[in-house]
Amino acid sequence: MSFIKTPAVPVESINPKVKDCEYAVRGEIFNHAQRLQEELEKNPGSRPFDEIIYCNLGNPQALGQKPITFFRQVLALCEYPDLLDSDETHKLFRLSSDAISRAKKILSTLTGKSTGAYSHSKGVKGLREMIADGIALRDGYPANPEDIFLTDGASAAVHMILKLLIRSENDGILCPIPQYPLYSAAITLHGGTLVPYYLSEANNWGLEVFELKGRLDWARENGISVKAMVVINPGNPTGQVLSESNQQEIVELCRKEGLVLLADEVYQDNVYVKDKKFISFKRIIKSVYREDEISLVSFQSISKGYYGECGKRGGYMELCGFREDVKDQIYKVASVNLCSNTSGQILASLIMNPPKALEDAFNSMEGVSCQKAEGAMYLFPRIKLPNKAIEAAKKASMVPDAFYALRLLDATGLVLVPGSGFGQVPGTWHVRTTILPDESKIPAIVSRLKAFHESFMREFQD
Amino acid sequence: MSFIKTPAVPVESINPKVKDCEYAVRGEIFNHAQRLQEELEKNPGSRPFDEIIYCNLGNPQALGQKPITFFRQVLALCEYPDLLDSDETHKLFRLSSDAISRAKKILSTLTGKSTGAYSHSKGVKGLREMIADGIALRDGYPANPEDIFLTDGASAAVHMILKLLIRSENDGILCPIPQYPLYSAAITLHGGTLVPYYLSEANNWGLEVFELKGRLDWARENGISVKAMVVINPGNPTGQVLSESNQQEIVELCRKEGLVLLADEVYQDNVYVKDKKFISFKRIIKSVYREDEISLVSFQSISKGYYGECGKRGGYMELCGFREDVKDQIYKVASVNLCSNTSGQILASLIMNPPKALEDAFNSMEGVSCQKAEGAMYLFPRIKLPNKAIEAAKKASMVPDAFYALRLLDATGLVLVPGSGFGQVPGTWHVRTTILPDESKIPAIVSRLKAFHESFMREFQD
């Protein structure tokens, strides 16, 4: 018989794993900042600064970045599909009938055609299929929708996998130092051991195999069974983009040592330098190994990239090289929480399938190169105009790209804006087009564009 | 040096807590149903039934229930606030300018005025304040927004609390049998021990203190420290609504035995019988005990009630009688996952604050009684018309409620629909009104309604 005198839970009685867990991004400094903000609101001028600027978190929409219009139009239409039947809506969305057709397509895949129904515990199957298509396009290797688990942000996926892998403090997870503190916090919460490896600052924060091997041996000598290795690429907080050869070394190490590779690839759309590009670990693996040689989990999030939809809590993990019985266990854990939120699921399908048919079309044309649309709703392809076309434009007293746009309009009915209206490096020529026409009209637009461009280039061949 | 021959994670190597966890709602039967559904799609007629009907899950929108229009209008406007500035939108939403004003109010509380920003880890403060107001109205006792944690569905909140309370298999949680299998699954995942107590079927699935006490003693004799007790009210899967006296017994037991009361109150808006009503455990506690005598966690969800917004994954827990240092620990765990999804947060604020000013007004009038609007967007108040008014209507060759509605229109400009247009028990009279006028106009509408009703009742006094 026990009588407890203090019925309110004393902090000494709680799970020590919870007590031990630390999370720097929203830790003491953040709490103090919130107190300072309240103080400044009550007593302006009480501090030597007027406002608190939160640089602790990648939270672009908190700092005024606008969400991508196309994404939000699709979301609004999915939340309130009555809008789809209204004349006013078609007027409102007149510049973006693509959003309307995409929303219809997405709604048709949802359970009960509603965002308000629990979905499959991995996420809506149709949305996983769209994501699989996006992954296949990115990597050049197919993706299986059944291996994709949609989650409330990538953090939830990381928790699921760590929960699966960690049995006790004798199970270790190799983590980069510096790391994103989700990993240290989650490993502590799930009762495992973080086995640190240091990123090489001298080597542009790359991974060094001898360092990894040394840490691994040390851990094993100390009775720790190392189950997995976390690699964050592009890096957080270090910002590096790993080289392909470094990625290959990492993959080979994981294969040899039987480590699950946990690839945090949530910054895949945040590569800012021209000479670096993101290559997924899946692509590295698929180009060299058999399916069952390495177990990989790739994490992606809607909170990063040009989209920055942090508050919507969407993300996914793709599993490669996992056995069916283990995938069944992950599915079971996912099913305990029923499903992730449908807005986040929809956004995950959108970030992996942004409207892009026009971009491909431009890049397939002779003398035209077009950057990927990473934000807003426009493409600004560069057109290498032949000298004869430039001379013809001069004769007509027109800027060359305006001359091109006018000929295009006359020949096809397509309205584009000459790049000269926006400013461009002298001697380069562009046109600007919205990416928002109705998806069903894109093929016709593309074929007209191509036919015109070919005949234009023939006409003015140097 | 170890060489692992099977790099793919063998199921034998995973966390046994994951393996041991079971979840019946989406277990074997559900998986088989999905296979049967695929089979039927490929080979119609291959089974003695045409379709699979999913009654395993309370998922109303999967079965064709429409979401509440007001809620979805607010969501759509918050997702794509450009709609707020457009004339077309005002035409589209002309019947529900209330949704526009509510969306503006909600947007003004969001971090960065956007649903796309990470919020405070407990949830947007302004939304927690709205929820606290709703709780205070429900219980008659104030609620503190700082004690409310918004989560991706109530399940996530249950996980957070169990993670906090359970240290090892020596920590027990008292759970009803039958129970909702989230509890057994989560206790297994978090490594604790489920201490079962049986609901008394003979006693309308009520809780019997001698049974609880016996189970508690048994657990303690077996070295289990019982930390908390789960009570599901209204019951799932048993459907009972506990009596106030039974709730009082439960609370007193928790106080005496130092148990945290985990009150699963997600069905608080699903009470179907006239003689029962939902009373929150918080109200029971507040009416008898001091703040620090009992620790209570109350769980609420947007997936249940008349709203049934399962796919949006919203919910909250309200903590009462917890110490600050323990609340800090819960906040820290919440912060590791940054925040719950903002659509779910917004819906949680809406279900705790549905539009209701008109309902109150009707109920305050002589001879008028009005049921709570639990769905759709209408009220159907019953009006006890005086005999003299019924005679006057007959003289005018009108149905009495149409006579009332016509007089109302003439006197005030307010357009209501006579109940006779919908059918009603003979001898009863109703009018139907939408609940959607602009919130700012409600006070004027209410005063006109009241003034007209008083003068009408005076004119035809029996």
Complex ipTM value: 0.79
Confidence (pLDDT) at B38: 86
Flag the least confident range among A102-111, A139-148, A450-459, B425-434. Answer: B425-434
* Chain B residue with the nearest C-alpha to that of A90: B88
* Interchain proximity A342–B92, CB inside 8 Å: no
Among B114, B322, B342, the residue to mutate for chain A (most A Cβ within 10 A): B114
Largest CA distance in chain A: 102
For residue B21, being part of any structural domain is answered with yes
Confidence (pLDDT) at B175: 93
Of the pLDDT bands very low, low, confident and very high (cuts 50, 70, 90), residue B8 is low
Angle CA B41–B46–B51, to nearest 5: 50
Task: Check whether residue B224 and residue B328 sit in a common domain.
Answer: yes
* Chain A residue with the nearest C-alpha to that of B308: A116
Instruction: Using the predicted structure, report yes or no on whether residue A4 has a pLDDT greater than 50.
Output: no
- Give first-to-last CA distance, chain B, whole Å: 99
Amino acid residing at A95: L
For residue B450, being part of any structural domain is answered with yes
Of the candidates A17, A164, A335, the beta carbon closest to that of B15 is on: A164
For residue A101, being part of any structural domain is answered with no
Sequence-distant (6+) residues with CB within 8 A of B456 are B389, B404, B407, B408
Of the pLDDT bands very low, low, confident and very high (cuts 50, 70, 90), residue B5 is very low
Task: Check whether residue B163 and residue B220 sit in a common domain.
Answer: yes
Q: Report long-range pairs for B84-91 (Cβ below 8 Å, ≥24 apart).
A: B86/A92, B88/A88, B88/A89, B88/A91, B88/A92, B89/A88, B89/A92, B91/A88
Tell which wins on pLDDT, B51 or A231. Answer: A231
For residue A75, list chain B residues with Cβ-Cβ distance below 8 A: 76, 79-80
Task: Check whether residue A361 and residue A302 sit in a common domain.
Answer: no
For residue B231, being part of any structural domain is answered with yes
Angle CA B133–B136–B141, to nearest 5: 145
Average pLDDT over residues B20-25: 76
Task: Check whether residue A385 and residue A340 sit in a common domain.
Answer: no
For residue A433, being part of any structural domain is answered with yes
Average pLDDT over residues A65-86: 88
Task: Check whether residue B386 and residue B449 sit in a common domain.
Answer: yes
Q: Give the alpha-carbon dihedral of A12, A14, A17, A22, to 10 degrees.
A: -70
Confidence (pLDDT) at B389: 94
Q: Is B99 exposed, middle or buried (0-12, 13-18, 19+ CB in 10 A)?
A: buried
SS3 label, residue A164? helix
Confidence (pLDDT) at B406: 85
**Sheet (strand B193-198) strand order:** B148-151, B315-320, B296-301, B260-264, B225-232, B171-177, B193-198
What SS3 string covers A333-380? HHHHCCCCCHHHHHHHHHHCCCCCHHHHHHHCCCCEECCCCCCCCEEC
Flag the least confident range among A186-190, B195-199, B252-256, B367-371. Answer: B367-371
Task: CATH number of the domain at A455, please.
Answer: 3.90.1150.10
Largest CA distance in chain B: 102
* Chain B residue with the nearest C-alpha to that of A94: B88
Of the pLDDT bands very low, low, confident and very high (cuts 50, 70, 90), residue A437 is low
Instruction: Using the predicted structure, report yes or no on whether residue B95 has a pLDDT greater than 50.
Output: no
Task: Check whether residue A246 and residue A382 sit in a common domain.
Answer: no
* Interchain proximity B76–A72, CB inside 8 Å: no
Neighbours of A419 (CB within 10 A): 24
* Interchain proximity B116–A312, CB inside 8 Å: yes
Residue percentage of chain B with pLDDT more than 70 = 91
Task: CATH number of the domain at B261, please.
Answer: 3.40.640.10
* Interchain proximity B14–A341, CB inside 8 Å: no
Q: Is the peptide bond before B237 cis (omega within 30 degrees of 0)?
A: yes
Task: Check whether residue A342 and residue A365 sit in a common domain.
Answer: no
Task: Check whether residue A209 and residue A281 sit in a common domain.
Answer: yes
Instruction: Using the predicted structure, report yes or no on whether residue B251 has a pLDDT greater than 80.
Output: yes
For residue B332, list chain A residues with Cβ-Cβ distance below 8 A: 18, 21, 23, 27
Task: Check whether residue B367 and residue B332 sit in a common domain.
Answer: no
Task: Check whether residue A222 and residue A296 sit in a common domain.
Answer: yes
Of the candidates B19, B83, B321, the beta carbon closest to that of A92 is on: B83
- Please give the DSSP secondary-structure letter assigned to residue A259: -
Angle in degrees, 0-180, between the axes of helices B342-351 and B69-79, rounded to the nearest 10: 140
SS3 label, residue B114? coil
Separation in Å, CA of B277 to nearest CA in chain A: 27
A28: left (phi over 0), alpha (psi -120 to 50) or beta: alpha
Average pLDDT over residues A401-424: 81
**Highest mean pLDDT out of A266-275, B94-103, B154-163:** B154-163
CB A207 within 8 A of CB A231: yes
Number of domains in chain A: 3
Task: Check whether residue A119 and residue A40 sit in a common domain.
Answer: no
Sequence-distant (6+) residues with CB within 8 A of A110 are A78, A117, A119, A124, A126, A342, B311
* Interchain proximity B343–A79, CB inside 8 Å: yes
CA distances from B142 to A55, A92, B109, B263, B301 (A): 35, 43, 21, 18, 20
**Nearest of B185, B210, B187 to residue B197 by alpha carbon:** B210
* Interchain proximity B329–A19, CB inside 8 Å: yes
Of the candidates B115, B293, B335, the beta carbon closest to that of A26 is on: B335
Mean pLDDT of all residues belonging to chain A: 87
Give CA–CA dist A375/A394, Å, rounded.
Answer: 34
Amino acid residing at A176: P
For residue A341, list chain B residues with Cβ-Cβ distance below 8 A: 152, 311-314, 341, 343-344
For residue A343, being part of any structural domain is answered with yes
Among A32, A72, A159, the residue to mutate for chain B (most B Cβ within 10 A): A72
CB A256 within 8 A of CB A294: no
Separation in Å, CA of B389 to nearest CA in chain A: 41
* Chain B residue with the nearest C-alpha to that of A332: B23
* Interchain proximity A338–B310, CB inside 8 Å: yes
Average pLDDT over residues B151-180: 94
Tokens of B3: 């060489």
Pairs of CB atoms within 8 A across A/B:
324
Instruction: Using the predicted structure, report yes or no on whether residue A190 has a pLDDT greater than 90.
Output: yes
| Dihedral (CA of B263, B269, B275, B279) sign | positive
For residue B254, list chain A residues with Cβ-Cβ distance below 8 A: 7
Of the pLDDT bands very low, low, confident and very high (cuts 50, 70, 90), residue A93 is low
Separation in Å, CA of A440 to nearest CA in chain B: 24
For residue B301, list chain A residues with Cβ-Cβ distance below 8 A: none
Give the residue from A330, A351, A372 where a domain finishes.
A351
For residue B74, being part of any structural domain is answered with no
CB A7 within 8 A of CB B294: yes
* Interchain proximity B67–A116, CB inside 8 Å: yes
**Domain span at B12:** 1-57
Instruction: Using the predicted structure, report yes or no on whether residue B365 has a pLDDT greater than 60.
Output: yes
Instruction: Using the predicted structure, report yes or no on whether residue B94 has a pLDDT greater than 70.
Output: no
CB A194 within 8 A of CB A178: no
Question: In this structure, are strands B193-198 and A431-434 parallel, antiparallel, or unpaired?
Answer: unpaired
Give the residue from B333, B351, B369 where a domain finishes.
B351
* Residue tagged 């049974």 (tokens): B211
For residue B216, being part of any structural domain is answered with yes
Of the pLDDT bands very low, low, confident and very high (cuts 50, 70, 90), residue B240 is confident
Task: Check whether residue B159 and residue B234 sit in a common domain.
Answer: yes
SS3 label, residue B265? coil
Confidence (pLDDT) at A222: 96
* Interchain proximity B57–A293, CB inside 8 Å: no
Of the pLDDT bands very low, low, confident and very high (cuts 50, 70, 90), residue A440 is low
